[in-house]
Chains A and B, each alone.
Chain A
Amino acid sequence: MSPSPVIHTKALAKRYRRTEALAPVDLEIPSGSAVALLGRNGAGKTTLLRILMGFLSPSAGEVSVFGTRPVLLTEAQKAQIGYIADAQDLPGWMTIEQYLAFLRPFYPTWDEALASRLRGLFALPRDRRIRHLSRGQRVKVAFLGALSFHPKLLLLDEPFGGLDPAVRDEILDALFDLMSREEWTILVSSHEIDEVERLCDQVLIMDDGKVVLRDERDPLLARSRCVSLHTAASLAPGGLPAHWWNPQGGDGRITFLDSNHEPERFQADLARHFPDARHLSIEPAPLKAITRALLRSAKTE
């Protein structure tokens, strides 16, 4: 029997008055997965993460974290979750040292040696008040607090948003360094798709509160291609195969993302739709291109 998933939802929904922030979402996230949660602003990513943390109650459906409804998580279970949010409130009047001393008693698994290693790695001055830190330093403090107790689950909501690339790199270095030694299950929402492409092994794309794609990263990359070609034909709306996402045309050049590339079928489809195709280019599609094409396709349907 496979172990019970760390996160489970069934028909999970959230409404704010008339707005449907989460349409019924079914999710199973097994232990040890690292999931990239992608989508535009307002797609429901933050709502999902906040429900998982127990900050928001769902309007309908089931949700469990470590097999328990988030609002009923025990202190011991909460002490296994590391959470970082974009607009995280840290107590500005505390020094870094005071803040860490404040956190320590909440986490039985707090590892002082790890905390001090991370503080050194992030070059954080122990006696500086948090309010006097730069934005990048504050995010590093949040990571320091969220990683130092060997969390089993990491929920990261846009952790790299608005960070300078050097700071982002320092944080990513620390994450990759710890990742192979820790037993993390990670759910990370991010606009920095290139950064999470290698961090995660699974991809979950949301749009309008719905999960529009859920797949393992490598099979998804393996079957996706960016295609461009020259043709005299025009783009007939609705006529192309449904797995050709976001077809765009102009000046005799057409581009699309083949989201289920099989060479033989592709050649047959190509011969049918663009028999005069020239300068055909079929390139690997990075996760960013796949996400963009899927979301644009969804909007034009």
Chain B
Amino acid sequence: MRLIPIDFKAGLPVYEQVLYAARKAIVSGEFKAGDPFPSVRALSSEYRLNPNTVQKALTALKNEGLIESLPGVGNRVCVLPEASRRDINLLLDDQIEAVVVRAKQHGLSLDEVQTALRHHWKNL
């Protein structure tokens, strides 16, 4: 089975790293709607992760509507669900503001931040 790529970093919560890697693989189109999505067992044995942790991450993905679990078939990627107004506000206000705060703290220019934003936008 095809696995999601995960670039693990020591010291970060494993659950969040799995969740982030999975979201990234789905929004980037690497895993498209209808594609099979790796099982707990596949991810746990390939990346040497506690299966409870992987299970928690997959449950969160199901709750976000990114994957579904079909009895007898396994996990499958869903059509990207429409974001709620609340999620959009959280991203556009709070999370982007947090990036701007960090950027200003490090003395970066708006240009530098925009370039980085464009770069990541294109790469996903």
Q: A residues 13-43 with Cβ under 8 Å of B?
A: 32-34
Determine which of B9, B40, B52, B53 lies in contact with A284 in the assembled complex, contact meaning CB atoms within 8 Å.
B9
A201 to B50 CA separation, bound complex (whole angstroms): 7
Q: Is B45 an interface residue (CB 8 A)?
A: yes
A200 to B57 CA separation, bound complex (whole angstroms): 15
Count residues of A near B (Cβ-Cβ below 8 Å).
29
Do A176 and B11 touch (CB < 8 A)? no
Interface string of B8-29 (1 = CB under 8 A from A): 0111111110000000000000
Q: B residues 76-106 with Cβ under 8 Å of A?
A: none
Do B45 and A180 touch (CB < 8 A)? yes
B51 surroundings in chain A (CB, below 8 A): 179-180
Binds B, one of A69-77, A93-101, A114-122, A218-226: A218-226
Interface string of A179-198 (1 = CB under 8 A from B): 11100000000000010011
Do B10 and A284 touch (CB < 8 A)? yes
B47 surroundings in chain A (CB, below 8 A): 198
B40 surroundings in chain A (CB, below 8 A): 180
Q: Is A273 an interface residue (CB 8 A)?
A: no
Q: A218-B53, A283-B11 are in contact. Are A199 and B48 (CB under 8 A)?
A: yes
Q: Is A229 an interface residue (CB 8 A)?
A: no
Q: A residues 197-230 with Cβ under 8 Å of B?
A: 197-201, 217-219, 221-222, 224, 226
Do A32 and B14 touch (CB < 8 A)? no
Main SS at interface, chain A:
helix
A34 surroundings in chain B (CB, below 8 A): 50, 52
A177 to B11 CA separation, bound complex (whole angstroms): 23
Of the four ranges (under 10, 10 to 19, 20 to 34, 35 or more), the interface on chain B belongs to: 20 to 34
Do B14 and A176 touch (CB < 8 A)? no
B2 surroundings in chain A (CB, below 8 A): none
Q: Is B49 an interface residue (CB 8 A)?
A: yes
A89 to B14 CA separation, bound complex (whole angstroms): 36
Q: Is B69 an interface residue (CB 8 A)?
A: no
Candidate in A179, A194, A289 with the most chain B CB atoms within 10 angstroms: A179
Q: Is A172 an interface residue (CB 8 A)?
A: yes
Do A198 and B12 touch (CB < 8 A)? no
Determine which of B9, B10, B16, B53 lies in contact with A201 in the assembled complex, contact meaning CB atoms within 8 Å.
B53
B48 surroundings in chain A (CB, below 8 A): 172-173, 176, 198-199
Do A32 and B11 touch (CB < 8 A)? no
Do B49 and A176 touch (CB < 8 A)? yes
- Interface, chain A (partner B; CB < 8 A): 32-34, 172-173, 176-177, 179-181, 194, 197-201, 217-219, 221-222, 224, 226, 283-287, 289
6 contacts between A and B (CB under 8 A): A172-B48, A199-B50, A201-B52, A217-B14, A218-B53, A222-B13
Task: Apart from A177-B45, A201-B50, A221-B13, list 12 A-B contacts with CB within 8 A.
Answer: A34-B50, A34-B52, A173-B45, A173-B48, A176-B48, A179-B45, A180-B51, A197-B14, A217-B14, A218-B16, A221-B11, A286-B10
